[in-house]
Chains A and B, each alone.
Chain A
């Protein structure tokens, strides 16, 4: 579909505004085999089967090393563009996927929240809803992190076929139908606030699709992305970002990291997909000189149990977050929780950095917004963003 909109003039954002890309590791990523405490003798006691061999660890320092598939992230770490934030979580982890993910999404560990923290971010970034693609979520359903009343989010399953009635072919027919759709949804036909709202929403959906459809059309790159679903999602995000549409918040996920059984093979496959996709994504942005204003943030709903179960690991508590980008202050932040048996809580690492602390840094130091209403309180701030 040919767009009649001018690129880059339809929103509050410009290429210079900070952009956040959230990559959710769905299913509970095993912290201890991602950032391996390879010199801790207890590690091998706890993990007789599900461990990373010492000579395979990608060494970061004399205590910690990355999973062997994370070479691309190790390279960026060496360049000072990766922050590893240790021991992140919250008190009384419920060890339930659904509940834990809700807590991360809503910042409500004690009650059931319905509004997402990034939804609140989008509302602050674009209070007048000037740009219907300020937030773009890659995946079939809207992540709860992005849900807030009256905040439009483009939910894109596949950037190449995103839009209304895309099943209709050929293009000439689709354009004819969408032209009629636009007329049928025009304010002139409205009969009251409900119909007006529906009309406006339909036009927003159409406009969002028109804007986003420009992205793959205007995109060209020498980077060949690796073959995985997360690589395709990040490529879609790169296309939207490079088109300069004013999008500021991107969201995607990969999984499932729920490695109860056969973890070694599964974890290896998942992290090679994620690491390679991240490398491709940043290579692509670098090639277009568009990486400076992008920070990527990785988290998972919980880490996994300290003791392995002979084949995999079960649901645990504390986990690790990773921030990547030129705006990131490289290094390690927070502390790896004590692995002493007496310090474990029901067999789990005890996180000592609240996840809302990490959000606070992202919201205040990277996005330049007041974090208190967004994360729901005042939290200490790990210093992983360059000033």
Chain B
């Protein structure tokens, strides 16, 4: 029987990370749930991934500029190997929230810098993140703030700051959008001196007082000569902002919600939980680490198992961490990074500023096929160390069909599936005959049959959920 504490730990690691091997889950369960939450929230205690190890093997991936498809492989390498998985998971959260893509920015290096700032500040105060994003050259270019001038206001950044990054539609007027945008005039970017005579120049943030509108602004009931930072302070005072960020946190860490554009007209699935998160945001002055601790330790989080469709990144990274193929920077890292894109989530290139549509919208016949094939191929490859461990563990739990099916479900999750699905797996296992672990004939021995059951388990509908 699966240990309840271990199931809970597996849930925490799927949400606060990318899943974990059974060995890791057992260690963490022994350490305890709340202690593990604390460890996840304090990444500075972990040895960081040495990104230069990857770049020594694949120097082309350093500062790829505009070269298509190169930008996200180093990040994928970090996600596979990190000992501080929540840190990388938060990068993914903010990348979804502050969705910025090479489709327009056309400069991987700048978006990678933005992801780095998420890694450094992700557990800190939301205000600092907003300031970093407002002064990120990638974001400035993505939302045209370099075209936002004292004498001709461009509202793109100002509007999205209110609509997508803080308050949500319905909590401000068109005048507020205008006044907010005025406060960010002159927040622009410039080129740094180039490193090489060819290739993309680096960008950096620049404030140009001569292009800033210092006049009085009237914003959300306040009047004054506000600049961007003061605008952000006013925004964060509003309960609507806390409620909106709470919903983002809920839909990413707790359970699937409707798509963001529907939020102004569709109430949350669990209004009490979202209110709880909103209160925690207000009480902590939007300290994300503090709020996440409250979420992970809450009952609604612990009960929300398998209520989110895995993102493509979770599918690929979760599988790779499970099969433990991380001994050195594999050339396959690039193809793994591409796989995430083939499943519909090309990192550093979200389809729009709204980010990716998530939940059930990840799934179509093409992406479902890619998810299933990728996972089934990995889990059937005994040469990967994690797979060998999984197989040995299942073998040790018995050789009757019931033993094997239940051990597969246990070690691959532990997964809870409807009786009908379990009955199908059991029927399949029985038809295969005895699982004779001493029978090592290629293609028909006990282990081959076991692999067939594992492939069916990862093909289950239920396996698409985290």
Contact = CB atoms under 8 A, between A and B. Distances in A.
Interface residues of A, number: 49
B372 A165 contact: yes
Nearest to B68: A97
A177 B455 contact: yes
Interface of A: 94, 96-99, 102, 112-114, 132, 137, 140-142, 144, 149, 152-155, 163-168, 170, 173, 176-177, 180-181, 183-185, 188-189, 191, 194-195, 197-199, 201-202, 204-205, 208-209
Contact of A98 (B103, B309, B373): B103
Contact of B459 (A113, A166, A181): A181
B456 interface: yes
B365 A140 contact: no
A183 B456 CA distance: 11
Given A96-B106, A197-B360, A197-B363, 19 more contacts: A97-B66, A140-B338, A141-B346, A154-B365, A154-B366, A164-B373, A165-B372, A165-B376, A165-B459, A184-B421, A184-B460, A184-B461, A189-B421, A191-B418, A198-B360, A201-B363, A201-B364, A205-B369, A208-B365
A111 to B, nearest CB: 9
15 contacts: A98-B68, A98-B102, A112-B351, A112-B353, A152-B365, A155-B370, A164-B459, A177-B456, A184-B459, A194-B360, A195-B461, A198-B363, A201-B365, A205-B365, A205-B366
Interface residues of B, number: 45
Contacts of B352: 112-114
B373 A166 contact: yes
A201 B104 contact: no
Contacts of B376: 165, 167-168
B332 interface: no
B438 interface: no
User: Which of A163, A191, A202 has the most CB atoms of chain B within a 10 A radius of its CB?
Assistant: A202
Contacts of A195: 461
Given A98-B104, A112-B351, A114-B351, A185 B461 contact: yes
Interface in B333-357: 338, 341-342, 344, 346, 349, 351-353
Interface of B: 66, 68, 101-104, 106, 309, 338, 341-342, 344, 346, 349, 351-353, 360-361, 363-370, 372-373, 376-377, 380, 418, 420-421, 424, 428, 443, 452, 455-456, 459-461, 464
Contacts, number: 124
Given A152-B365, A201-B365, A167 B461 contact: no
B254 to A, nearest CB: 16
A132 B380 CA distance: 29
Contacts of A202: 365, 368, 461
A99 B452 contact: no
Nearest to B341: A141
A164 B373 CA distance: 6
Contacts of B103: 96, 98-99, 102, 112
A205 B365 CA distance: 5
B342 A165 contact: no
A94 B460 CA distance: 44
Nearest to A256: B68
Contact of B366 (A155, A166, A198): A155
B368 A177 contact: no
Contacts of A191: 418
Contacts of A194: 309, 360
Contacts of A198: 360, 363, 368, 461, 464
Nearest to A258: B68
Given A140-B338, A184-B456, A165 B365 contact: no
A361 to B, nearest CB: 27
A154 B346 CA distance: 19
Interface centre among B68, B367, B421, B456 (most CB of A within 10 A): B68
